[in-house]
Chain A
Amino acid sequence: MQNFITSMRVKPLLLCGTLVPLQVALAAPAAHSHPSNYEHPTTALAAAVDQTITGRVTDDQGQPLPGATVVVKGTTIGTGTDGEGRFSLVVPTANAGGTLLISSIGFTSQEFPLGTRTTFEVRLATDTKALEEVVVVGYGTQKRSDVTGSVVSVPQDRLEKIPVSNVAQALAGAVAGVNIVTSSAVPGAQPSIRIRGVRSITANADPYIVVDGVPFPGSLNDINTNDIASIEVLKDASSTAIYGTRGSNGVILISTKRGKTGKPEIRYNGYDGPEFFVNNLTPLDGPAYAQKYQDFAAQRGFTPTQPLPNSAEVVNLAAGKTVDWMKEIQQTGSIQDHNLSISGGTNDVKYFVSGEYFKQRGALKGFQFQRVSLRSNIDADLTPWLRIGTSSFFSTNNDNGGRADLTLAQVTSPYGNLYNPDGTYAIYPQLPELLIKNPLLALTTTRESVVNQLTGTGYAEVAPTFAPGLKYRLNATYSFRPYRYAYYEGREFGNLNGYAQLLNDERRNYTIENILSYARDFDKHHVDVTALYSSQQNSYFTTTENASGFINDAIGFNGVGGGSLTPTISSYSERRALLSQMGRINYNYDSRYLLTVTARRDGSTVFGVNTDKYGVFPSIALGWNVANEAFLQNNALLTQLKLRFSYGTTGNEGVNPYQTITGLAQGQYAYNGVPTTSLYAGTISSGGRIIANIGNADLKWERTTSANYAVDFGLLKNRITGTVEYYVAKTNDLLLNRQLPIITGYSSILANVGSVRNQGVDVALTTRNIDKPDFGWETNLNFGVVRNRVLQIYGTGGDDIGSNLFIGKALGGIYTYEKVGVWQVGEDPSGQDPSAKPGDLKFRDVNGDGTITSLDRTYQGSTIPEWQGGITNTFTYKGLSLRVFFQTVQGVLRNNGNLNFVDLGGRSNTPQEIGYWTPTNMSQDRPGLNYNNPRGYSYPSDASFTRLKDVTLSYNFPSSITEKLHMGNLSVYASGRNLYTWTDWVGWDPEQSYTVGNGTGNGGTNYPNVRTVVVGLNVSLR
């Protein structure tokens, strides 16, 4: 709380009163100091004539049922059962003629007239209807059968027993319409998530992530997957519109585990295993590399004086000494995770505490990622009408370490030198060539990159006893996220001055939500109403210091002031805030006819002075549970049938702050060697952080209006269940970094331009193919098809080639020439491409004018996949289960940088999988070594793939054994990930991005995809 108050910005908010209810609510229990007052609220009223009743509640197996509710119907007189299922309740005389109601979630309630009976032995039957899945929706929960929106629960088995470092990796391919793009396999890298395609280009396309009801400001890497109880993905406008401006890209709701009444349960989950480098590109070996230089010389038209470009290589060639750089940069990777949790509680206070240690050692030298996290979730019923709780967690993760360079290893000569004669790394392996540094050199650098995430959430829930169904909830979350990056490179890296960089940033976020809800059944009418008032603020501050001129490498960044040359420093500060109001009405009649109406109004700082900062986002959804109609009761074929329709609008404010303001970049310049502040428009500052942009005061929300049509069905006693959904989403006022002619002085402006439509079908199907007591086979299939089309831009009716926007075509388009082959010796190019030489790429003369010009470019496809899906087959035999999961992504075109890179003018190696044209091999695919791609052809290639994503074999020990061991549960498993990929893509991975060439440094995203195999253990003690 102190943090709130010290922040000046929050002060008006305090006055605004959002915190007032919290203070009042929290003050409440403190005023009544005796806990017994509310455990037995009636004792004071009805003195000696009260009657004490006792009893024991069990389930239908006769096992004690802790936490069951025992209450005198229509009053607040009540208690709960203890760990043995026993209860004791004092009933005032006034209520002696009442009815005792005994209930527990998942069981059918029972009622008993009180009369003279004082002991009760109650066995509650399992309620099949109540067991029905409850799903988390925005600002609440709903029974699965009452849901009208498109809400998909992620299968629980995706969260355990798979070696993943974050949640998104677990989601890949598991949910229809959710696309996880793993653009880097670097340990600690985060995949991006796209729900139902890409709506926006410039604005953020990431879904909104909500953890335990409050927006999550950190990174998915911070969340321990073992802590997750459930994940729901909200896809359509009806379910996301209550998140207003944050809803356009879909919403992911994560609920963490919470304590349950009963004996403490101690759980340990852990796994460990190696990771393997998947070798997709192999540099040319010595002889082939030497041949390439001869071929290069012949194609460039010169006679080389020596057999290889550099004298150091010539020496090694003569000595027959080669280096396998790919082998040198590798090590055996590993991945391990240890997770311990303790949960339990009494009727009034429940807890869940967990800790995790995750460590990944890369398959490339120097790469690693580790995380330590701690979570504590507490819920406490302070009075019958007040419950408070906290969810708080701390995580620290780092990907420290200087890293070997895959890109460089790919291009360094096999005749280069790995070491100097004294055993240190050779800085330049192929002297006198100074362009290519040793791929292992970055291992000599010191690099620290640590992010800490501290999040505290508190809630108070007030359910006044006089107004059943009414509930007020206050959520307050504060998170603090400091990040520190420190780097030093010195003499061993070839930097004779030494160079240090320090970067520190802090992100502070808070959210305060007031939620008022009311749920009530009137006969067969069910009504539930929710209202919200919330405010949110994110602030960011960063500083950077760069220094060089260190006398030696002893202290590095620890003494950044030791740099004798003038340091450069910069800082940046940013704030964004959001104010929201929301209302929702859910109505259903007899769980047959369902209606949801929502509206949200959001105001954001990031939009213009000339426009309204507020936007209103309404939605409506209808559902019909056909299976609940009398005419379908006991139907042998059709067990479940629900029709759903929703329509609504969501927004997107996912742009950086200050885009409405024309800014000046700050840099430095010098007159006569004296540094001077310099400010200029339209370029990037030397700090590299602030892009001096042309502001757009007219900036407003991007709005997506979508319709969703869905059928949920269950056939043959739910042996086959599934959902088919069709949706059309149209995004207007598309936020786009519109490319401007540089004549304006600026290369782009953020503007609302045009509209885009996404339409698609999501299908999810589960079939229980074999369902025997000992043997089962279940298949889960999901796939999503999405068609993305640009409808209009600027209202002009024309394409904007410069911004890569083409009417009637998908976003993410690739617009380039059509390669039809390679010019061969003796072919006459004069009628098609008069400048071409043998070995040059041959392009189609689309307009037939006898020459290749910019008019011969065409739209060739999109980086958005046409369809994708996943199929999981699970086989169970007694305690043994085998799960096999395939993922596929089809119809994607990507530019392939590997093909675009040639060999730096004969000076570097290239992968043998890529190859090159020679007059004798007459390749029709690859150009010659002297081709410098004057037209900027981008080498679009099919990036479709199918992957055997994971296979898990697990064994659950039977209870006969676990009981002997005094365990609740014991299972062991072996799991493999990224086992095999089928693709035509030439490169390290079709999904991932790599830089190509001679870049040195710390590897960036350049990391091969890895294959992982682990063995794991899950144990619980109770």
Chain B
Amino acid sequence: MKRFTLACVGLLGAAQLLSSCEKEYLDEEPPSLYTPQTVLVDSLGFEAAMAGLQSVVREQYTSAGLQGLLGIMQEGTDVAIPGQVQGVEVPYYNYTLLNSQDGGASYYWSWAYRTINNANQIIAGAEAAPASLRQGYKNRISAEARFFRAYAYDFLATLYGDVPLVDEPVTSPRTDFTRTPVAEVNEFIVNDLTTAIPNMFDATKATSGRIARGAAQHLLGQVYLRMNKPADAERVLQTLISSNTYKLITARYGVRANQPGDYFSDMFIVGNQRRNQGNTEIIWGIEQQLNVPGAQTEAQQRRMWVPAYYNVKGMLIADSLGGRGIGRMRLSNWVDYRLYPQGEGAADMRNSRFNLKRRFYYNDPAQTALFGKRVTGLVGTDTIFFITPYTTKWNQYNPADPFGYGTIKDLPMMRLGESYLLLAEAQVKQGNTAGAAASVNVLRTRAKAAQVTADQMDLNFILDERARELIGEEQRRITLVRTGTLVERTLRLNGASVTGLTANKALMPIPQSEIDRNTSGTLAQNPGY
């Protein structure tokens, strides 16, 4: 009885005490979760957020979820035709199938806005960061984020037209977005880049893999061209080139300098791709590295560009052939047979067997009758993606992974060679064909190709030259949409591979799911979808 009374007293006492503990007991503190409030307070936090932003940026061309995504940027343009397609790229050459539920349009849209959100977090975080963080650091980290934000908006404005403009982190479930006119988006991009440029590190000072001033100048030049401000473009590109921070590669270097090859092909070999590996021409490369956590993706470039030669009896997967490709697409006949004119094309280094591989030799020693002979005379239309000329820029082989799901090499995003072509474009647009010819000839001299003259210079020539210089690196669709030449050039140079390409199809559809989810606002669809 006494015990019982005691127990009751204990219970009553407990009830009294409990009221004071309740609050703490129900507090929610995530023990293993980082939050913006705990991260964006010092330079270590900002560095981690920048690495995070760059890992999102990387997803643009390294996703493996929809393996044909990269084909969207090449097929249905003048440079490529479909091979062993996956599916997502089909509406980009059979344009009649391109609709608002398109997987590719949805993927790229999502990539851009995830990039923008992560950039916004850093830009807003730098503004709010405590005074203990140096202003110079805040400006620089913010400048890097602004570059990526501008890069994503430029991508959106080019491929989708008017797009919603979000300039700070979203903190509530917003569903009232509307499309901001392209002109306004362009002003925003220009403002971001011009704010960023003075605050960025020069490439000589920046860490490998980090974005530097030259990239912002290169991008700004390209944005001005899209805005039809060629004089501004020329000014900023001239600044970039004359800074001499970057130099064209004109001599053999790097890990295979003593093996067969040429200096143009040296730039695309794993181990040679970075500035600190001797590549003075690279302005922005997205770094990848085999067997390093966080540095590997399942990027599909090799599988897109390298043909499925191993399907031919007598052919084995080989390092020298670039590993296992599956020929999801192949170069268009225009690139294969007309881009390099007979005679003068033979001298062009960019058309050498080290850069544009055209001939195959049986390499399976077990097939003694065939071994060493040239592969010719195949029949059947499926062989077009087995044995076909291809750019070697995405060759990569890992003996531990013959299946070769991913491409673990750096992605060249911008290099000085392209800056010259942008400059030439700006010059042509201003009627300065002599200047344009001079700019193009810098590259042709380097490639040991025939020189061009001013009277040859027009936009089409520049675009041809881009295909020679940048095939495999350039996202061809973006260039053609930017220059307004997608329909004309594709139909003229590669018409047989496309269906239903009309002016309306130049812009991608706004993803239907975005329209559906934006319940409190109206996102108008692009015409034709």
| A interface list, Cβ under 8 A from B | 12-13, 15-18, 20-21, 23-25, 27-28, 31, 297, 301-306, 310-311, 385, 432, 434, 462, 464-466, 472, 494, 496-497, 514, 533, 535, 549, 565-568, 571-575, 577, 579, 603-606, 613, 657-658, 660-683, 686, 690, 694, 696, 738-747, 749, 751, 794, 796, 798, 800-803, 834-835, 853-854, 905, 932, 934-936
Contact = CB atoms under 8 A, between A and B. Distances in A.
22 contacts: A303-B381, A305-B378, A434-B324, A496-B400, A496-B401, A574-B30, A574-B31, A579-B26, A657-B30, A666-B34, A667-B52, A669-B52, A675-B294, A678-B52, A678-B294, A680-B56, A741-B177, A743-B166, A743-B518, A800-B516, A801-B516, A935-B101
Contact of B3 (A28, A745, A747): A28
A305 B380 contact: yes
A364 to B, nearest CB: 26
Contacts of B86: 905
Nearest to A738: B173
B3 A668 contact: no
B170 A694 contact: yes
A694 B175 CA distance: 14
Given A434-B403, A670-B295, A740-B174, A664 B52 contact: yes
Nearest to A569: B293
B520 interface: yes
B49 interface: yes
A936 B101 contact: yes
Contacts of A682: 114, 117-118
A196 to B, nearest CB: 29
A468 to B, nearest CB: 14
Contacts of A675: 292-295
A567 B291 CA distance: 9
The 4 closest A-B pairs by CB, nearest first: A745-B117, A17-B14, A668-B294, A680-B52
A1021 B454 CA distance: 108
Given A27-B3, A670-B209, A694-B171, A743 B293 contact: no
Contacts of A18: 14, 18
B53 to A, nearest CB: 6
A572 B171 contact: no
Interface stretch (B90-98, B185-193, B231-239): B90-98
Interface in B464-516: 500, 512-516
A587 to B, nearest CB: 25
Given A535-B25, A680-B55, A664 B3 contact: no
Given A17-B11, A23-B10, A686-B294, 16 more contacts: A16-B14, A304-B382, A568-B293, A572-B32, A603-B26, A657-B28, A658-B30, A661-B28, A661-B33, A661-B35, A680-B55, A690-B33, A738-B173, A744-B166, A801-B517, A802-B513
B72 to A, nearest CB: 13
Interface in B248-283: 274, 276
Contacts of A571: 32
A91 B121 CA distance: 83
Nearest to A673: B289
B3 A31 contact: yes
A964 to B, nearest CB: 52
Nearest to A548: B291
B3 A662 contact: no
B27 A663 contact: no
A633 B310 CA distance: 90
Given A305-B382, A834-B96, A464 B14 contact: no
A496 B113 CA distance: 38
B14 A20 contact: yes
B384 to A, nearest CB: 9
Most buried by A among B17, B32, B47: B32
B164 A743 contact: yes
Nearest to B521: A741
B344 interface: no
A669 B3 contact: no
A30 B120 CA distance: 67
Contacts of A310: 311
A669 B55 contact: yes
Contacts of A604: 26
A682 B115 CA distance: 10
A24 B114 contact: no
B526 interface: no
A196 B3 CA distance: 46
B455 interface: no
A13 B17 CA distance: 9
A302 B117 contact: no
Contacts of B518: 741, 743
Given A658-B28, A745-B114, A17 B13 contact: yes
B403 A746 contact: no
A664 B170 CA distance: 14
Contacts of B383: 305
A497 B91 CA distance: 38
B372 interface: no
Contacts of A743: 113, 164, 166, 174, 177, 514, 518
Contacts of B318: none
B87 A16 contact: no
A566 to B, nearest CB: 5
Question: Contact residue range for chain B?
Answer: 35 or more
Contacts of A466: 1
A62 B85 CA distance: 86
B294 A311 contact: no
Nearest to B295: A670
B47 A661 contact: no
Contacts of B379: 303, 305
A606 B29 CA distance: 10
A664 B55 contact: no
Nearest to B91: A934
A854 B100 contact: yes
Contacts of A746: 117, 170
Nearest to B10: A20
Nearest to A27: B3
Given A676-B294, A738-B173, A12 B24 contact: yes
Nearest to A464: B4
B48 A934 contact: no
Nearest to B119: A745
Interface in B202-245: 207-210
B110 interface: yes
Contacts of A936: 101, 103
B116 A800 contact: no
Nearest to B90: A932
Contacts of B55: 667, 669, 678, 680
Given A686-B294, A741-B517, A742-B109, A573 B31 contact: yes
Contacts of B517: 739-741, 800-803
B117 A385 contact: no
Contacts of B21: 12-13, 15-16
Contacts of B366: none
Nearest to A567: B293
A577 B26 contact: yes
A21 B28 contact: no
Nearest to B176: A741
Contact of A672 (B207, B380, B500): B207
Nearest to B514: A741
Contacts of B333: none
B519 interface: yes
A745 B168 CA distance: 10
B139 interface: no
Nearest to B103: A936
Contact of A21 (B10, B101, B291): B10
A12 B171 CA distance: 35
B352 interface: no
Contacts of B520: 794, 796
Contacts of B169: 681, 745
A662 B14 contact: no
- Of the candidates A533, A680, A683, A686, the one having the most CB atoms from chain B within 10 angstroms of its own CB is A680
Contact of A742 (B27, B96, B113): B113
